[in-house]
Amino acid sequence: ETGVTQTPRHLVMGMTNKKSLKCEQHLGHNAMYWYKQSAKKPLELMFVYSLEERVENNSVPSRFSPECPNSSHLFLHLHTLQPEDSALYLCASSQDSGLLKGEQYFGPGTRLTVT
Amino acid sequence: GENVEQHPSTLSVQEGDSAVIKCTYSDSASNYFPWYKQELGKGPQLIIDIRSNVGEKKDQRIAVTLNKTAKHFSLHITETQPEDSAVYFCAASSTGTASKLTFGTGTRLQVTL
């Protein structure tokens, strides 16, 4: 276990549904990330939060909406998704200072299928 | 932005042999190079990393080397075991505010008996 948990582990949703992915880290880190992992493509960084402030938004469509209420929790709100959004969504966290700066620890992911 | 290329995409070795995976990066400002192992149904797991102030790092059967001049780094696994079978990803970043990793496309390693 890496200390990063994600729920749900699997999600099937229709294109008109609204759902949320949840991530929680138990490592005392101060930065959190959302990545998208599709088959045969590199992991794509979607959002970065540092000290609960969004510092990166890699041109992600507005149908993905992140929320970081505190340094331990990260959400990804989903609405009006497309079938091509089906992928593994990974959450990660890191300590944004000190000797271990840069080390990111990933959760197990949420396998999302959009029908 | 940073671009990371990884080779080979698949690698099959016999148990006990060594495996080498290579990556190149484009941004000379990158200073942190982790390697991740991803098993089926799991998220990527950090297995070893190297920072640009060192050229080599070892941890038991795995080692990473870094050539800053050529902008390439490699993962070496010795005495491979079946449990080493997984997908391995390299990544690069500059450790500014909230490090932004750029990943390679992954290498599927199969260790056969």
Per-residue pLDDT tens digits for A37-46: 998 788 999 9
CA distance, residue B24 to nearest chain A CA (Å): 14
Length of chain A: 115
Check if the beta carbon of residue B76 is closer than 8 Å to that of residue B65: yes
pLDDT of B12 over the 60 cut: yes
Question: Whole-number mean pLDDT of chain B?
Answer: 93
Q: Distance between CA atoms of B65 and B95, rounded to whole angstroms?
A: 19
Q: Which of A41, A50, A103 sits opposite B97 (nearest CB)?
A: A50
Average pLDDT over residues A26-46: 91
In this prediction, residue B24 carries a pLDDT of 98
Taking CA–CA distances from A46, the nearest residue in chain B reads: B100
Q: Which residues of A touch B103 (CB under 8 A)?
A: 42-43
Taking CA–CA distances from A108, the nearest residue in chain B reads: B43
Q: What percent of chain A has pLDDT over 70?
A: 95
Q: Distance between CA atoms of A38 and A84, rounded to whole angstroms?
A: 9
Peptide bond into B44 cis (omega under 30): no
Of A15 and A102, which is predicted with more confidence? A15
B67-97 pLDDT, tens digit each: 999 999 999 999 999 999 999 999 998 765 5
| Residue owning tokens 């540092």 | A50
What's the pLDDT band for A97 if we cut at 50, 70, 90? Answer: low
CB contact under 8 A, A90 and B43: yes
CB contact under 8 A, A102 and B45: no
In this prediction, residue B97 carries a pLDDT of 52
CA distance, residue A80 to nearest chain B CA (Å): 26
In this prediction, residue A50 carries a pLDDT of 84
CA distance, residue B69 to nearest chain A CA (Å): 22
CB contact under 8 A, B32 and A107: no
In this prediction, residue B112 carries a pLDDT of 95
CB contact under 8 A, A50 and B46: no
Of A23 and B2, which is predicted with more confidence? A23
| Contacts (Cβ under 8 Å, ≥6 apart) of A29 | A71, A93, A94, A95, A96, A105
